[in-house]
Amino acid sequence: MNNFTFHNPTELLFGKGMIKQLGDRVKKFGNSVLLVTGGGSVKRIGLYDEVIGILNENGIDIHEVSGVKPNPRIDKVREGVKICRENNVDLVLGVGGGSTIDTAKSIAAGVKFDGDPWEMFTMDGEPDKAIPVGAVLTLAATGTEMNGNAVISNLETNEKLAIHTPAVNPRFSILDPVYTCTVPEEHTVYGIVDIAAHVYEQYFSHTPGTPVQDRWAESILITLREESKKVLDNPEDYEARANIMLCGTMALNGLIAMGKETDWASHAIEHELSAFYDIPHGGGLAIIFPNWMKYVMDEGLDKFVQYAVRVFGVSTDDKTDREVALEGIEKTRQWFNEMGAPSRLADYNIGEEKLEIMAESAVSNKELGGYKKLTKDDVYQILKMSL
Amino acid sequence: MNNFTFHNPTELLFGKGMIKQLGDRVKKFGNSVLLVTGGGSVKRIGLYDEVIGILNENGIDIHEVSGVKPNPRIDKVREGVKICRENNVDLVLGVGGGSTIDTAKSIAAGVKFDGDPWEMFTMDGEPDKAIPVGAVLTLAATGTEMNGNAVISNLETNEKLAIHTPAVNPRFSILDPVYTCTVPEEHTVYGIVDIAAHVYEQYFSHTPGTPVQDRWAESILITLREESKKVLDNPEDYEARANIMLCGTMALNGLIAMGKETDWASHAIEHELSAFYDIPHGGGLAIIFPNWMKYVMDEGLDKFVQYAVRVFGVSTDDKTDREVALEGIEKTRQWFNEMGAPSRLADYNIGEEKLEIMAESAVSNKELGGYKKLTKDDVYQILKMSL
């Protein structure tokens, strides 16, 4: 195990009706809020009105940024920063899925950043200050509700980049699984793939001596598999939604990465796809991950064997390690397919045209990969396998 | 899953040499420290001198309480509170095992408490204020390094009682597994039993729909089993010590209790043993737990079957659920025995004399148990089975 520091002060308020505690939590930080929301779903499920009602009851001034889209854009961040500065906002409250909360976090950092907000994403180093952030989550997926990450896209430059700073860890996050019961099947599936992908990025690692972190990761994957079946059979299964939501939060809050090197190459590759083609993040990951696995597995078959055996119950009888590993990867692809996730770039009408430029962009100015360091050609091969 | 709130802002600094960050962390809170230590071990391993050196280098005023013993006493808390008040101490720094850190936490709360510190333990409700606490851990066992609990004994009244308040969560905890490499075998084993016992108290629960929390708990138990063998074979196995230390912290920081009812009857019964006979907490738990399991298992065999199968690999072929459950319990006892933990009260020369009064005391003024609510007679029977 490597040395590590773990510090995650986000307060989780988890369960049915926990929104009732919103007023109390917001008031800890002041009485002026920037409410950040996405499209229509928070209004459709009545959450928007409920939040406005609670904030009004508590005498809190409300400013707003709405219309945040998937693969959220830097324009909304700029808009929010301006409003916060002009109105001396105390807390940025993201109500929605990962895109909304990432926008809220980026605004909170942008308020304290001297320069255009996009520079926070392109500069060396990370912003280290932000006004407080709160979150009300409506989609189990990114884990942003309990970490310091935010991913923002700039369509002018075809870039999708992240900040990672404890300054934007939500001070509190309200997670009511009921809000996720009405998420359409497609987005439910993308969320589940995203959660699994976060686990993979941290699970496949060469750091020795991390048995309990590995088992925690496997715990999340096994639970996701079991609960994904239930939730696709019955979208309103509260317990299944709750379990998936908890898995999403715990998959990317530092728990399973304790003392481990991590990978994140597949995410970087997918970010290129989303930046160039604006496809759903979870869809891109479902395509890329099995191909990444196949491409890198020979760097350390043991971990892929462990994955196949423990997560999918693959038998090792009369098989080589390579056969067991391949069976685990095939079962991964099958799981994603059975849920209805895409398996080829062709499913999004993506052809060979931009593979080269995406591969170039994925490796530009950064080291890529942990399980296997990836060159531009490696990325190109993985994209090609994904056609 | 039940609704829950999770908030654990302790910063963990984990690994070899992390003590180097002590000065930086202490200075965040001020420049006057009460250093709380136990017997000789922190001096023997050179840690005491290192801590003093770092505090001096950073220009921090040092006040001291030393000589904290296992089953730590309220007298030391009173002593520390007095020193803190007289010297306007900014941070209480516990350097040692659970007893030392619990004393430090109790002092920190006592400073802000209006009344004799023992009243914090006997009153209704919990103290809600404390001066900041820091910890340097030298024993993997209680989990106090990342929670708001502190257990203190009063030998005058034969009571061993706890406070539970986020106010005393350490602001930072330095966990260097090297410090645990010189812990004598007996105390290493008690620590491992204590960690397993914490997991049991939260694992055996009737709350439905908690698959991932259950698997995280099983992850800790399986890892403990594997690593305990390694560490008893080679006490200086850094990786094994590191894994056990991490298990200890994560077993009682709220992770595996998310959304679950918990039990804690066995701890309450053991606290009576320690209060009346001053025996080691881990030794008492090793005796009580298998008997508690046997006594309560019929309240819900399914969880005991799951435990036997997943943690000990017990086969279910041609067996009733009851037989599988009993085999898991027997394997628990065997594991404790193989490590050298006691299995009967007779090992501590404890006979029938005080069983009745201990049973009475265990249930006085409180509900006992979650998996099965225990009456005085139930406690008496469990103690009798343990003779």
Cβ–Cβ under 8 Å, residues A51 and B40 = no
If asked whether residues A341 and A372 sit together in one domain, one would say yes
Residue A124 lies in a domain: yes
| Nearest Cα to Cα of residue A292 among A218, A379, A350 | A379
If asked whether residues B268 and B169 sit together in one domain, one would say no
Residue numbers in A near B18 (CB within 8 A): 3
Cβ–Cβ under 8 Å, residues B137 and B97 = yes
Q: Is the pLDDT of residue A75 over 80?
A: yes
Cβ–Cβ under 8 Å, residues B380 and B356 = yes
If asked whether residues B333 and B288 sit together in one domain, one would say yes
Give one DSSP letter per residue of A337-358, joined into a string. Answer: HHHT---SGGGGT--STTHHHH
Cβ–Cβ under 8 Å, residues B371 and B296 = yes
If asked whether residues B224 and B307 sit together in one domain, one would say yes
User: How far, in Å, CA of B331 to CA of B309, rounded?
Assistant: 11
pLDDT score of B365: 76
Tell which of A160, A179, A198 closes a domain: A179
Tell which of B153, B179, B205 closes a domain: B179
Q: Which helix (H) or strand (E) holds B36?
A: strand B32-37
- Tell me the residue ranges of DSSP E strands in chain A: 4-6, 11-14, 32-37, 61-65, 91-96, 133-137, 149-154, 159-164, 172-175
User: How far, in Å, CA of B85 to CA of B95, rounded?
Assistant: 20
| Nearest Cα to Cα of residue B179 among B101, B124, B115, B257 | B101
Report angle CA A70, A73, A75 to the nearest 5 degrees. Answer: 145
Q: Collect all residues with Cβ–Cβ distance below 8 Å to B120 and sequence separation of at least 6.
A: B106, B109, B110, B113, B126, B127, B163
| Nearest Cα to Cα of residue B143 among B252, B20, B12 | B252
Burial class (CB within 10 angstroms; exposed 0-12, middle 13-18, buried 19+) of A46: exposed
If asked whether residues A39 and A113 sit together in one domain, one would say yes
Q: Does A12 contact B1 at a Cβ distance shorter than 8 Å?
A: no
Residue numbers of the domain that contains A369: 184-385
Residue B2 lies in a domain: no
Q: Collect all residues with Cβ–Cβ distance below 8 Å to B228 and sequence separation of at least 6.
A: B189, B192, B244, B335, B339
Q: Does B18 contact A2 at a Cβ distance shorter than 8 Å?
A: no
Residue B23 lies in a domain: yes
A6 touches chain B (CB under 8 A): yes
A129 touches chain B (CB under 8 A): no
If asked whether residues A286 and A343 sit together in one domain, one would say yes
Q: Does A243 contact B4 at a Cβ distance shorter than 8 Å?
A: no
Which CATH number fits the domain that encloses residue B313? 1.20.1090.10
pLDDT score of A192: 98
Q: Collect all residues with Cβ–Cβ distance below 8 Å to B174 and sequence separation of at least 6.
A: B13, B18, B19, B21, B22, B25, B134, B135, B136, B137
User: How far, in Å, CA of B305 to CA of B215, rounded?
Assistant: 14
- pLDDT one-digit tens code per residue, A2-25: 999 999 999 999 999 999 999 999
Q: Collect all residues with Cβ–Cβ distance below 8 Å to A115 and sequence separation of at least 6.
A: none
B14 touches chain A (CB under 8 A): yes
Residue numbers in B near A237 (CB within 8 A): none
As given in the structure block, the two tokens for residue A371 are: 């399980």
Chain A nearest CA to B157, separation (Å): 38
Residue B284 lies in a domain: yes
pLDDT score of A278: 87
Mean pLDDT confidence for A203-229? 98
Cβ–Cβ under 8 Å, residues B116 and B161 = no
Query: Which is it for strands A91-96 and B4-6: parallel, antiparallel or unpaired?
Result: unpaired
As given in the structure block, the two tokens for residue A138 are: 């409506």
Residues 235-264 of B with CB under 8 A from A: 239, 242-243, 246-247, 250, 255, 258-259
Cβ–Cβ under 8 Å, residues A314 and A200 = no
User: In chain A, pLDDT over 90 holds for what percent of residues?
Assistant: 95
Burial class (CB within 10 angstroms; exposed 0-12, middle 13-18, buried 19+) of B184: exposed
Cβ–Cβ under 8 Å, residues A319 and A308 = no
Tell which of A128, A158, A179 closes a domain: A179
Q: How confident is the model at residue A158 (pLDDT cuts 50, 70, 90)?
A: confident
CA A302 vs CA A221, A277, A305, B259: distances in Å: 18, 35, 5, 34
- From the list A14, A218, A219, the residue facing B4 with the nearest CB is A14
If asked whether residues B172 and B263 sit together in one domain, one would say no
Residue A2 lies in a domain: no
Query: Which is it for strands A159-164 and A32-37: parallel, antiparallel or unpaired?
Result: unpaired
Q: Does B223 contact A208 at a Cβ distance shorter than 8 Å?
A: no
CA A101 vs CA A57, A96, A133, A174, B27: distances in Å: 23, 7, 9, 12, 33
- pLDDT one-digit tens code per residue, A35-66: 999 978 999 999 999 999 999 999 999 999 99
If asked whether residues B116 and B222 sit together in one domain, one would say no
pLDDT score of A14: 98
User: How far, in Å, CA of B355 to CA of B243, rounded?
Assistant: 37
pLDDT score of B367: 87
Q: Closest-CA residue in chain A for B4?
A: A14
Chain B nearest CA to A13, separation (Å): 5
Q: Where are the alpha helices (DSSP H) in B340-375?
A: 355-363
Q: Does B246 contact A259 at a Cβ distance shorter than 8 Å?
A: yes
User: How far, in Å, CA of A50 to CA of B171, rounded?
Assistant: 35
A311 touches chain B (CB under 8 A): no
| Nearest Cα to Cα of residue B176 among B25, B20, B68, B282 | B20
Q: What b/e string do you get for A350-368 counting C-beta neighbours within 10 Å, with b at 16 or more? A: beeebbeebbebbbeeeeb
- pLDDT one-digit tens code per residue, A337-364: 999 999 999 999 999 999 999 999 999 8
pLDDT score of A247: 98
Bridge partners, residue B96, by sequence: B137
| Nearest Cα to Cα of residue A242 among A290, A306, A175, A309 | A175
Cβ–Cβ under 8 Å, residues A216 and A255 = yes
**Could you tell me how far CA B176 lies from the centroid of its own chain?**
18
If asked whether residues A191 and A315 sit together in one domain, one would say yes
pLDDT score of B54: 98
If asked whether residues A320 and A191 sit together in one domain, one would say yes
User: How far, in Å, CA of B240 to CA of B235, rounded?
Assistant: 9
Residue A6 lies in a domain: no
User: How far, in Å, CA of A197 to CA of B239, rounded?
Assistant: 27
- From the list A5, A11, A15, the residue facing B3 with the nearest CB is A15
Burial class (CB within 10 angstroms; exposed 0-12, middle 13-18, buried 19+) of B63: middle
Q: How confident is the model at residue A187 (pLDDT cuts 50, 70, 90)?
A: very high
Q: Is the pLDDT of residue A365 over 80?
A: no
pLDDT score of A184: 95
Q: Closest-CA residue in chain A for B12?
A: A6
A203 touches chain B (CB under 8 A): no
As given in the structure block, the two tokens for residue B222 are: 């399986």
Residue B1 lies in a domain: no
Order of all β-strands in the sheet with A4-6 = A4-6, B11-14, B172-175, B133-137, B91-96, B32-37, B61-65
Q: Which amino acid, one-letter code, is at B50?
A: E
Which CATH number fits the domain that encloses residue B27? 3.40.50.1970
Q: Collect all residues with Cβ–Cβ distance below 8 Å to B20 and sequence separation of at least 6.
A: B54
- pLDDT one-digit tens code per residue, A304-349: 999 999 999 999 999 999 999 999 999 999 999 999 999 999 999 9
Does the interface ipTM go beyond 0.95? yes
Per-residue pLDDT of chain B (387 residues; tens, 9 = 90+): 999 999 999 999 999 999 999 999 999 999 999 999 997 899 999 999 999 999 999 999 999 999 999 889 999 999 999 999 999 999 999 999 999 999 999 999 999 999 999 999 999 999 999 999 999 999 999 999 999 999 999 988 888 889 999 999 999 999 999 999 999 999 999 999 999 999 999 999 999 999 999 999 999 999 999 999 999 999 999 999 999 999 999 999 999 999 999 999 999 999 899 889 989 999 999 999 999 999 999 999 999 999 999 999 999 999 999 999 999 999 999 999 999 999 999 999 999 999 999 999 999 878 899 999 999 999 999 999 999
User: How far, in Å, CA of B177 to CA of B236, rounded?
Assistant: 10
Residue A292 lies in a domain: yes
If asked whether residues A122 and A208 sit together in one domain, one would say no
The total number of structural domains that make up chain A: 2
If asked whether residues A130 and A160 sit together in one domain, one would say yes
Count of pairs with CB atoms under 8 A, one residue in A, one in B: 116
Bridge partners, residue B150, by sequence: B163
